[in-house]
Chains A and B, each alone.
Chain A
Amino acid sequence: MTLKLQPVQIATGSNDRESRLVFEDGRLVAVLVQLSSEHDSHAGHWFLEAGFGRVEDPHAPIFADLREAQAWIARQLADVDPSY
């Protein structure tokens, strides 16, 4: 599995703008956004703004860096659920 990250700016209606579109084999699987200084202790960390398919999780953790975020996304994608 190869994840590709594409930098993009997102209009979240807040100061959180710096973002990455995350693609797996050319398909968009997630949107990550870097949290601004408004988020105190989480400033600079990455938030799963949107996840698609298996990556969707309203209670996803906040990631310290992009490497951690990608590892989590890869785990979600690899987690084969027999009900699918």
Chain B
Amino acid sequence: MNPLIRKLEGFGPLSDQDRAILTSVSASGHLIGPRVDLIREGDAPDGVILIMEGIACRQKHRANGARQITAYLVPGDACDLDVALLSRMDHTITTLSACRVVRVPLDVVKRLMEEHPAIARSLRMSTLVDEATLREWLVNVGCRSAIERIAHLFCELLLRLQVVGFASEDTYEFPVTQLDLADTVGLSNVHVNRSLQELRRQGVIELKGRTLRILDRQRLKSIAEFDAKYLHLGTRAAA
């Protein structure tokens, strides 16, 4: 099922007509390879980017080449509903893995918001959750140890991907390189590698190629002090 509809329906009921319009809005789209900038810092926004498959990210670069990834966009995630209000992007959006990407024209977004109140409400909820997630990531890099940061991210992704049907009870595709992961959690590649090895040694995760399996969910949650409330999943937060 369409991840955008799955995600938005989680925030509130949608009518058949709402579902039909969301299906048509997200139907087109392009397959884009990994490490492609979808829009760069300084560019004028030309639509709302919607990720239907794969993982993309928001990132900021320093002049010395260092970068910080500030958000992951997973299937069903649309970025910056109100981006039309900005004249220039203040960050870059890049694919981490191969993605199916839809660019929704600004006038279509405007019509969705004006003519479909249930969709508008869910999209606004989704923006609030994006902000809450950013706060949680800030706490992650500011207050948690290396292993805790990675455990927290793995817990969060399990829930976010389950909601849109891209994770089973304990397994999901994690097509993010170790270097990208390092720039996500603000650690060196060496510290990321050590933490992943430690999580493996403790029998908490299994990472085979790009497939992440969480062997001990309780232990992972406990390492991360993970509390899913910020994702506002309501009854969907079975994990």
Query: Interface residues of A: mostly helix, strand, loop or mixed?
Result: loop
Contact with A along B173-214 (1 / 0, CB 8 A): 000000000000000101001100110000000000000000
Query: Interface residues of B: mostly helix, strand, loop or mixed?
Result: helix
Min CB gap A53→B, angstroms = 18
B64 adjacent to A16 (CB under 8 Å): no
A12 adjacent to B194 (CB under 8 Å): yes
Given contacts A13-B198, A47-B188, contact A39 B193 (CB under 8 A): yes
A14 adjacent to B64 (CB under 8 Å): no
B190 adjacent to A59 (CB under 8 Å): no
Q: How many A-B residue pairs have CB under 8 A?
A: 25
A14 adjacent to B198 (CB under 8 Å): yes
Chain B residues close to A by CB (< 8 Å): 64-66, 188, 190, 193-194, 197-198
Chain A residues close to B by CB (< 8 Å): 12-16, 35, 38-39, 42, 47, 58-59, 62
Given contacts A14-B194, A39-B193, A59-B66, 17 further A-B contacts (CB under 8 A): A12-B194, A13-B194, A13-B198, A14-B197, A14-B198, A15-B197, A16-B194, A35-B190, A38-B193, A38-B194, A39-B190, A47-B188, A47-B190, A58-B66, A58-B188, A59-B64, A62-B190
